[in-house]
Amino acid sequence: MYIRDKIIVITGASSGLGKETAINLSRHGGSIVLVARSATRLKQVQDEITEITGQPPVTVQCDITREEDISSMVDTIRQKYDHIDILINNAGIAKYLVSEKISNQEMRQLFKVNFFGTYYCIKALLPLMKHKGQGYILNVSSLFGLVVPFADISIYSASKFALVGFSEGLRKELKSYGIGVGLFMPGSINTPFQNKKEEGERKTPPFLIMDVSKAAKIIVNMITKNKKNVVTPRWMLPFFKTIALFS
């Protein structure tokens, strides 16, 4: 799929991978809709893209765990566009603690953001994609959605396992509509999340952390080639599987 002139909605677009992906796709000529909770950070990304392209992207302040926010987001997009071509579900959170140390509220929040929020966005925006008769949905999961090498990521992994299973089924559901579904499963990325871990949470060794610009380029490649599943770095999956066998 060509990116130029495509209408692309990106959640979690105010920082990290979402921001980097939005900037990258803007450079390729995409018309971006930035979605995130922070209006201040959204404005900063909007200004950055405007400086690059001369065209301000649409911004939507939205908490994807709130269904009323999702409805408002769709209304805002409909005011500007009669369809969308690409949806990138990038918004996500993580908590690396053993299950008995995670509060029930934290556990629910992991699933609300990582799974239910993505589901809400897809369900709400599908009519705008079906209207065009083609499109591409990219869900950002994690390597930990395929393998659980460490005991302290059980709840986070469960939320990402759910997203992987949903994405595989959704791909079959939407095939007849000409809508592809991609699943991006990276290891740790050098986003602000890495600096926000609390005491007691697992710290990722620097040599295992991927540069965010590289991750964004992989997403662009997935879109242009309509790829289904990408695991990166590839060597990390067998590495983690080996760890899991002996843990």
**Please, are residues 107 and 155 in contact by the beta-carbon 8 Å criterion?**
yes
- Token duo for residue 219: 């997403």
**Cα distances (angstroms) measured from residue 34 to each of 107, 114, 152, 175, 184:** 27, 18, 32, 26, 19
Judged by DSSP in three states, 231 sits in strand
The rounded distance, in Å, linking the Cα atoms of 52 and 147 is 39
Amino acid (1-letter code) at residue 78: R
**Please, are residues 26 and 98 in contact by the beta-carbon 8 Å criterion?**
no
Q: 221: which residues sit within 8 A by CB, 6+ positions away?
A: 227
The rounded distance, in Å, linking the Cα atoms of 46 and 107 is 32
The rounded distance, in Å, linking the Cα atoms of 92 and 110 is 8
Q: What's the distance, CA 166 to chain centroid?
A: 14
Judged by DSSP in three states, 32 sits in strand
Report, as residue numbers or ranges, the catalytic residues: 156
